[in-house]
Amino acid sequence: MKRLGLVRTLKGTIIFLAVMAALCYIEIFPDAIEEMGRQNANVIWLVTPGTIAVSISAIPIAIALILFWRICTEIGRDNSFCHKNASRLSGIGFCALIDTGYCAVGTVTLEILVGSPIWLLGLGVCTVGLAIALAAFLLSHLVLKAADMKAENDLTI
């Protein structure tokens, strides 16, 4: 795949992910939280705080998608290996860690308050979040090394 085709594919994927995330955070998650509240009258008081708490978790995801969009823009400019992209990948890693930590705290809090078996889902989400963070930090390191090598080669006559 050529560079411009790759960039279009990546940006199309980012748009798709943003739309899917918006759908989840606007429609699916609030409905699921309300349904859990209807099924168990003891936790009906958690519906509004739960919806707000889940909505807050969308912030790091949005930031990560914006950073990824900027990386794709640099790839389109044929500037894949630059310090900015390494920094952006680190930012994506930190967003994943923040969201993973937030999910872990929310899962433990829900388990303590309600005794719900939701912790299994939370454990899966945290595992995926840690994998994304690890991959982003690893890619950041590799891009930084490549950018340094590129800078050395640019100085060589």
Q: How long a stretch of residues is the chain?
A: 157
Tokens for 98? 């923040």
Residue 16 has pLDDT above 80, yes or no: yes
Contacts of range 144-149, beta carbons closer than 8 Å, 24 or more positions apart:
144/83, 144/86, 146/80, 146/81, 147/81, 147/82, 147/83, 147/85, 147/86, 149/81
Q: For residues 8 and 55, give the distance between their C-alpha atoms in angstroms, rounded to a whole number.
A: 29
Let me know: does 30 contact 24? Beta carbons within 8 Å: no
pTM summary value: 0.91
Q: What is the pLDDT of residue 157?
A: 61
User: pLDDT tens digits for 82-127?
Assistant: 999 999 999 999 999 999 999 999 999 888 888 777 888 889 999 9
